[in-house]
Amino acid sequence: MSHGKRQTPEFRREAVRLALTSGRTRREIAGDLGVGLSTLTRWVREDRDAEEPRDEQIDLHSELKRLRKEVTILKQERDILKKAIVDPFRTSQIKDVALIG
């Protein structure tokens, strides 16, 4: 373990990212990185307590909102097509759907 050695901000961000997304325990990650478990835990807590949301968090939020709207539209389109194909031998239903779109 590192004693008194200050890590770069990039190292800390990467360590926090690993702790939050890798699926491994913090103890394993801290051991692999050569930092104390309490140090890694403090970095994670400080990252979560940061007041300003990072740009990537804001972008992820807007992307999620956009994708949810797209899913809603696609489900509506799917439902319309399902209704149009209920009776494939009645072509008038399919023509009606084509006129709507």
pLDDT (tens digit per residue) in 53-99: 666 667 888 899 999 999 999 999 999 888 888 766 665 555 555 55
> Using CA atoms, how far apart are residues 45 and 89, in angstroms rounded to an integer?
63
Contact 67/74 with Cβ under 8 angstroms? no
**Residue 80 lies inside a defined structural domain of this protein:** yes
- Are 59 and 45 in a shared domain? no
**Residue 2 lies inside a defined structural domain of this protein:** no
- Are 39 and 64 in a shared domain? no
- The burial class, CB within 10 Å (0-12 / 13-18 / 19+), for 7 is middle
- Domain count across the chain: 2
**Residue 3 lies inside a defined structural domain of this protein:** no
**Residue 1 lies inside a defined structural domain of this protein:** no
Confidence (pTM): 0.47
**Residue 4 lies inside a defined structural domain of this protein:** no
- Domain carrying residue 83: 55-100
